[in-house]
Structure 1
């Protein structure tokens, strides 16, 4: 590790250009009349581009496309604009104003993608379907019968090695294929927290499989 890695980095300091940009957004978004309408429209167009990109990135998980995808993006952008204006007084200049504003668009996309899934679920919701496990773990149908012992060990590890929350999240995301956005909404959590839970669960399962001889340390099967 380089010696400078241990030195705390100073907080982000806005450039004169960034400060001028923030001041302009503050002024125009609160000016009233035609000035405020024009600034609101500019903000909407910015957040719509972000929302559309985010919805497209997550579209496969909820099987949405075409006009429906565009509608989700417009809804997210519109609600994000309202949130930005409502909370404009909270912005402390710790990032560029546009960076701060775009976070609202990403949050709204996540929420709306989650709601869309629960309104139009694309996977059965009756409970864990262990027959999906080989595919979720990247095991082909042809190999699944040969790997029956490994799959049985994974299932046993899920039941015995994971905490209740880890098991719940792992089964929902990995076995049932529920999108992270939808699960975050249902569990009142965040994408980041759920990703970490899945990561920790996978790590526990790997340790169990290696320790009990089902996998080598490099991930290859031993049986």
Structure 2
């Protein structure tokens, strides 16, 4: 009987540790992806607070990249608002699908679900197949990934302000960063972190040895290494 209180006392720490461990492979991807978004925002003349709000409210890198690369004369406030609301409707669907698996009062999950990203939904969907989703686990996963997106945006914006204009004008740089962040997901989930590092190191090596980023080299090395690693 004395063991039971100790077990209950350690449970919160276990939930937090489990959430951090599950979120870590996605943190690297989000940092790189939103670094790209911060860089593009700076290049298009947006200020840092605007970019933080942009990433913090939309949390959809494909839409953000599309909006940032769309000529200004083709954009209007209504179109941006409709696009943002439409793509964020997915979070309502995500929440409804998780509702029956949330452990405890549903209102306690509102802060976490309000900042839930695609990766957070994926992790919680896997979790609910094994056990109910606790508030601590949901908070850890959702806020860790949300922080990675916001910090990535800020880091990219600051990097762009320090980098030379020649670097920022090289479109291959930002495309390679996006590839580095996303291509690793072609491997099985437990290997995605390794594949992302392979892509990132290949990008750095290409820039160091060739003086520029070769997209074909990044693609080829990452795909071959991911496939080989996945088969071992």
Is TM more than 0.5 here?
Answer: no
Q: Give the helix-richer structure, 1 or 2.
A: 2
Indicate the structure (1 or 2) with the bigger Cα radius of gyration: 1
Normalising by structure 2, report the TM-score. 0.28
